[in-house]
């Protein structure tokens, strides 16, 4: 047998290695933007065509490259940023692996133009399949322009794996925002297919946050500023009332590098605890700066994870910094900051971090005062309800006969349609609740009976189902009528949300919303669904978008499906709403007119039915 092992040709090895660094257009966006930042640019422009599949180009006014460096830059492991392994622990730049340009050149066609201040002419390079195809001098301004064209033109399998343009553009916008947020002193712009999406003038971090996340955060940001010898935590958190349904607006940067950390996120959530509703997410944009020696950023090629030398200290510090900030903005007059044990302990970072310190922080007067006084939202207590349900479920389960679950077909439309409720009356004389009557309990449940038993309906779930089917029908049949607004409201969105809304406009129109783009990220609400309450259309749309983003990573749903579910969820009658008799009857009627009355689109039950025989059995009758 001959020997069978061979070295892969360079370009194939490069293509394989590139997969780690460049997975999609957004990866190139991140790498190219970071290179421009590292080059000391004060103005960085990003141009995208076809969601980055055709073109990702970054133009900067940074320090540029010499002719030799320009060619060198595309070699694997070629970097000007570290020289030895020790440098890794002193790293101040965003890049250091020397892999990005080599990877990009392996999987796309690249055009580089670059010029240093000291050179008269710049250099122009064309590279394809890791090979230089063309090189010539070029007259240009100082700085660099790197264009990546036709990503994966030579790796069709990868190209086919790219998602829809909307989805790839979303990833690009995310990466762009992460870099732009970290460097407010740099001008950034983003144009997609020739249309400007972002234009971010240089300014303060606060200005940058508002530019990016929208003017709704104006005057709603609380400054976080804690300095110690060990680390600094700087940035902003949103006031509790700005907390949203999705975790979208949450950013951690460690030494200016965007990171994801469930652990540190927990620290912030803890600081907010009881100031916001359970399943809502506060906005934060926090910069943790510490000695690079305390970090290992070499964990993952795309570098979103970071290892801290001492994670617990960072946790405690972040939590205290946020608590401190929140306390200052909200209840300053009643507070004595000297009493905050958490923060004081943290200054002495050489002390071991113990549970004792943690619990003393939690029991400090600072914590106590503002957690009690600042319950911005009513937090629903479901425990009573749970016991109430257990009360019915437990005995039947032990006997092996559980109450008829909603998914069982026997008691759906056929038994519980409107007619039957209205006409049967055999039990009506013996019970307080008359057949056909509906009783609301806890402002959350509807109870109704017929001669076969009784039904317990969850009003919120039921309404979600009703709306979902109504909207779905609007797509297959007649659009929902629009009611023109007499005094059209306008809605201002962040650039990213505006991109999203534009995408949804045709579908929204089918559902009765008439929205017109007006200026860059502003829309005029010209009309709303005919049966919608007037006055809250703006909030409704904002909430709908939030809800939509909540689904946006869920690949299994189509865009339209996500929209339907979002609106149904958002417009549904909520738990806690008291309903008039007429509203209750129509809710019940409409529920049982649905094609699938027994569960919400997400599969939560809308009602439970309890048969009379089973009740009788339970009581030994
Ligand atoms: N926009 C730019 N301006 C100036 N130099 C650049 C630019 N982009 C890349 N370079 C040079 O090319 C080198 C290789 O870049 P890259 O492959 O991204 O690796 P890294 O950023 O990890 O060093 C960099 O170290 C830098 O010297
Ligand atoms: Mg780089």
DSSP calls for 446-479 = EEEEETTEEEEEEHHHHHHHHHHHHHHHHHHSPP
Give me the half-sphere count of Cα atoms (radius 13 Å) on the Cβ side of residue 495. 22
pLDDT for the residue 549: 79
How remote is the CA of residue 175 from the centroid of ligand 2, in Å? 14
Ligand closest to the CA atom of residue 99: 1
pTM here is: 0.62
Assess whether pLDDT exceeds 60 at residue 5: yes
Most informative mutation of 40, 79, 125, 302 for ligand 1 (most atoms within 8 A of CB): 79
Task: State pLDDT tens for residues 392-427.
Answer: 233 333 333 333 333 222 233 444 433 334 333 333
Q: Which residue has the higher pLDDT, 91 or 169?
A: 169
Ligand nearest to the CA of 98: 1
404 to each of 76, 387, 588, how far by Cα in Å? 65, 19, 18
A 10 A CB-CB count for 282 gives 24
Q: Which atom of ligand 1 is nearest to the CA of 97?
A: 22
Q: What is the pLDDT of residues 453-489, one digit of tens each?
A: 788 899 999 999 998 888 888 888 778 888 887 778 8
What is the chain's length? Answer: 621
Q: Which two tokens stand for residue 171?
A: 């990833």
- Quick one: pLDDT at residue 66? 97
Work out the pLDDT band at 81, boundaries 50, 70, 90: confident
In this structure, the number of other CB atoms found within 10 A of the CB of residue 383 comes to 8
Per-residue pLDDT for 363 more than 70?
no
- Identify the weakest region by mean pLDDT among 60-64, 168-172, 343-347: 343-347
Separation of alpha carbons 583 and 173, rounded Å: 44
What Cα–Cα distance (Å) separates residue 446 from each residue in 437, 439, 603? 10, 5, 19
Q: 133-147, pLDDT tens digit by residue? A: 999 999 999 999 999
Q: Is the pLDDT of residue 54 over 90?
A: yes
Q: How far apart are CA 621 and CA 616, in angstroms?
A: 5
Q: Quick one: CA dihedral 12, 17, 23, 24, positive or negative?
A: negative
Q: How far apart are alpha carbons 196 and 216 in whole angstroms?
A: 21
Q: Whose CA is nearest to atom 24 of ligand 1?
A: 79
Q: Compute the distance between CA of residue 144 and CA of residue 192 in angstroms, rounded to an integer.
A: 20
- Centroid of ligand 2 to alpha carbon of 265 (angstroms): 27
Residue 396 has a pLDDT of 32
Confidence band, pLDDT 50/70/90 cuts, at residue 306: confident
Overall average pLDDT of the 63-89 stretch: 89
Question: What pLDDT, in 10s, does the model give residues 103-127?
Answer: 999 999 999 999 999 999 999 999 9
Write the pLDDT tens digit of every residue in 545-561: 888 877 766 666 777 88
Separation of CA 341 and ligand 2 centre (Å): 42
Name the closest-CA residue to atom 7, ligand 1: 35
Residue % of the chain over a pLDDT of 70: 80
Q: Kind and range of the H or E element at 504?
A: helix 495-510
Q: Are 135 and 46 in contact (CB under 8 A)?
A: no
Ligand found nearest the CA of 115: 1
Return the residue matching tokens 């195809």: 133
What whole-number distance in Å separates Cα of residue 607 and Cα of residue 621? 25
pLDDT of the residue at 421:
40
- Location of structure tokens 């070629």: 78
How many angstroms separate the alpha carbon of residue 500 from the centre of ligand 2? 30
Per-residue pLDDT tens digits for 505-524: 888 888 888 888 887 788 98
Tell me which of 366 and 356 has the higher pLDDT.
Answer: 356
What's the whole-number mean pLDDT along residues 591-605?
A: 84
Q: Please provide the distance, in angstroms rounded to a whole number, between the alpha carbons at the two ends of the chain.
A: 85
Which DSSP symbol is given to 94?
S
- Candidate of 31, 34, 35, 257 to mutate for ligand 1, largest count of ligand atoms within 8 Å of Cβ: 35
Tell me how far CA of residue 542 lies from CA of 177, 189, 273, in angstroms. Answer: 20, 25, 24
> Out of 24-28, 36-40, 350-354, 586-590, which region has the weakest mean confidence (pLDDT)?
350-354
Instruction: Note the pLDDT of residue 553.
Output: 61
Contact at 8 Å (CB) between 396 and 613? no
* pLDDT tens digits along 198-212: 999 999 999 999 999
CA–centroid distance, residue 344 to ligand 1 (Å): 42
Strand bridging mode 43-49 / 187-192: parallel
Tell me, in angstroms, the distance from the centre of ligand 1 to residue 96's CA.
9
Confidence band (pLDDT; 50, 70, 90) for 436? low
Contact between 81 and 92 (Cβ < 8 Å): no
Q: Where is average pLDDT lowest: 19-28, 355-364, 502-511, 604-613?
A: 355-364
Phi, psi at 109, each rounded to 5°: -95, 130
Which residue shows structure tokens 């804690």? 226
The per-residue pLDDT for 434 is 58
Question: Who has greater pLDDT, 299 or 342?
Answer: 299
Between 155-159, 235-239, 244-248, 534-538, the lowest mean confidence (pLDDT) is in 534-538
Mean pLDDT for 6-35 is 90
Give the separation between CA 490 and CA 477, rounded to whole angstroms.
29
Longest dimension (CA), the chain: 100
Q: Given a cut of 80, is residue 430 above it in pLDDT?
A: no
Please choose from 36, 39, 44, 73 the residue to mutate so as to test ligand 1's pocket, defined by most ligand atoms within 8 A of CB.
Answer: 73
* Of residues 153, 152, 147, 136, the one with CA closest to residue 18: 152
Virtual CA dihedral for 68, 70, 76, 82, nearest 10 degrees?
Answer: 80
- Residue 99 CA, ligand 2 centroid: distance in Å: 7
Residues within 6 Å of ligand 1 by CB: 31, 35-36, 38-39, 60, 62-65, 73, 78-81, 95-102, 144
Q: Pocket of ligand 1, candidates 95, 141, 147: which has the most ligand atoms within 8 Å of its Cβ, to mutate?
A: 95
The pLDDT, as a whole number, for residue 494 is 85
Distance of CA 256 to the CA centre of its chain: 20
What are φ and ψ of residue 369, in 5° steps? -60, -50
Q: Kindly give the number of the ligand 1 atom that is closest to the alpha carbon of 31.
A: 18
pLDDT(228) > 80: yes
User: Using CA positions, which residue lies closest to atom 18 of ligand 1?
Assistant: 100
Helices 100-107, 25-38: axis angle to 10 degrees equals 140
pLDDT confidence bin for 352, thresholds 50/70/90? very low
Q: How does pLDDT run across 315-329, given as a tens digit for each residue?
A: 999 999 999 898 877
Q: What is the pLDDT of residues 561-583, one digit of tens each?
A: 888 888 888 888 888 888 888 88
User: Hey, whose CA ends up nearest to atom 4 of ligand 1?
Assistant: 64
Task: Name, of 85-89, 271-275, 412-416, the range with top average pLDDT.
Answer: 271-275
pLDDT of 64 > 90? The answer is: yes
The sign one gets for the Cα dihedral 243, 244, 249, 253 is positive
Q: What is the pLDDT of residue 433?
A: 56
pLDDT of residue 328: 76
Does residue 364 have a pLDDT over 60?
Answer: no
Q: Which of 217, 222, 220, 188 is nearest to 203 (CA)?
A: 188
Run of H or E including 440: strand 438-441
pLDDT at position 391: 24
| Token pair of 153 as six digits | 């033109």
Confidence (pLDDT) at 398: 32
Mean pLDDT, the chain, whole residue set: 79
d(CA 238, CA 253): 16
Token pair listed for 281: 């997410």
Q: What's the angle, vertex CA 273, arms to CA 290 and CA 307, rounded to 5?
A: 30
Looking at the predicted structure, is the pLDDT value of residue 308 above 80?
yes
State the SS3 of 288-320.
Answer: EEECHHHEECCCCCCCCCCEECCHHHHHHHHHH
Which residue among 14, 36, 38 is best mutated to probe the pocket of ligand 1, counting the most ligand atoms within 8 A of its Cβ? 38
């Amino acid at each position: 047998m001959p020997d069978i092992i061979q070295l892969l040709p360079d370009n194939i090895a490069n293509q394989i290695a590139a997969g780690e660094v460049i997975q999609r257009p957004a990866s190139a966006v991140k790498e190219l933007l970071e290179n421009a930042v590292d080059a000391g640019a004060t103005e960085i422009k990003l141009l995208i065509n076809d969601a980055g599949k055709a073109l990702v180009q970054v133009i900067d006014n940074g320090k540029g490259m010499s002719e030799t460096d320009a060619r060198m830059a595309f070699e694997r492991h070629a970097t000007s940023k570290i020289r030895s392994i020790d440098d890794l622990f002193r790293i101040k730049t965003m890049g250091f692996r020397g892999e990005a340009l080599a990877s990009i050149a392996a999987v796309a066609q690249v055009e580089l133009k670059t010029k240093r201040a000291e050179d008269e002419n710049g250099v122009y390079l064309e590279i394809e399949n890791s090979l230089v195809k063309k090189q010539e001098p070029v007259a240009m301004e100082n700085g660099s322009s790197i264009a990546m064209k036709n990503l994966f033109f030579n790796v069709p399998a990868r190209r086919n794996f790219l998602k829809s343009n909307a989805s790839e553009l979303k990833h690009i916008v995310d990466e762009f925002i992460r870099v732009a947020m970290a460097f407010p002193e740099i001008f950034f712009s983003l144009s997609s297919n020739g249309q400007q999406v972002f234009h971010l003038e240089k300014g303060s971090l606060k200005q940058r946050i508002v530019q990016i996340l929208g003017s709704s955060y104006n005057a709603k940001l609380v400054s976080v500023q804690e300095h110690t010898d060990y680390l600094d935590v700087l940035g902003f958190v949103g006031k509790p009332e700005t907390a949203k349904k999705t975790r979208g607006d949450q950013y951690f940067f460690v030494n200016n590098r965007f990171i994801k950390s469930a652990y540190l996120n927990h620290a912030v959530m803890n600081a907010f605890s009881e100031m916001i509703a359970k399943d809502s997410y506060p906005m934060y944009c926090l910069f943790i700066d510490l000695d690079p020696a305390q970090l290992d950023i070499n964990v993952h090629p795309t570098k979103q994870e970071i290892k801290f030398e001492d994670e617990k200290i960072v946790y405690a510090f972040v939590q205290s910094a946020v608590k401190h900030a929140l306390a200052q903005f909200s209840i300053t007059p009643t507070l004595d900051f000297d009493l905050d044990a958490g923060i004081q302990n943290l200054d002495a970072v050489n002390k071991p971090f113990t549970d004792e310190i943690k619990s003393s922080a939690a029991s400090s007067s600072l914590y106590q005062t503002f957690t009690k006084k600042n319950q911005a939202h009513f937090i629903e207590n479901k425990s009573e309800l749970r016991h109430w349900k257990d009360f019915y479920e437990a005995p039947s389960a032990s006997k092996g006969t559980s109450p008829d679950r909603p998914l069982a077909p026997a008691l759906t439309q056929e038994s519980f349609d409107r007619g039957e409720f209205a006409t049967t009356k055999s039990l009506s004389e013996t019970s307080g609740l008359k057949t056909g009557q509906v009783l609301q309990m806890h402002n959350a449940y509807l109870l109704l009976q017929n001669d076969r038993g009784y039904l317990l309906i969850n009003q919120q779930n039921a309404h979600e189902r009703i709306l979902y089917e109504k909207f779905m029908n609007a797509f297959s049949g007649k659009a929902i009528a629009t009611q023109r607004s007499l005094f059209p409201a306008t809605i201002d969105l962040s650039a990213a949300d505006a991109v999203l809304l534009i995408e949804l406009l045709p579908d929204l129109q089918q559902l009765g919303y008439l929205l017109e783009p007006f200026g860059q990220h502003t829309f005029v609400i010209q009309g709303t669904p005919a049966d919608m309450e007037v006055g809250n259309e703006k909030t409704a749309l904002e909430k709908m978008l939030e809800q939509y983003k909540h689904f946006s990573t869920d690949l299994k749903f189509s865009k339209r499906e996500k929209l339907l579910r979002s609106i149904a969820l958002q417009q549904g009658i909520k738990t806690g709403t008291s309903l008039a008799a007429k509203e209750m009857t129509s809710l019940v009627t409409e529920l049982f007119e649905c094609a699938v009355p027994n569960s919400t689109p997400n599969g939560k039950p809308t009602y439970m039915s309890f048969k009379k025989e089973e009740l009788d059995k339970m009581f030994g009758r």
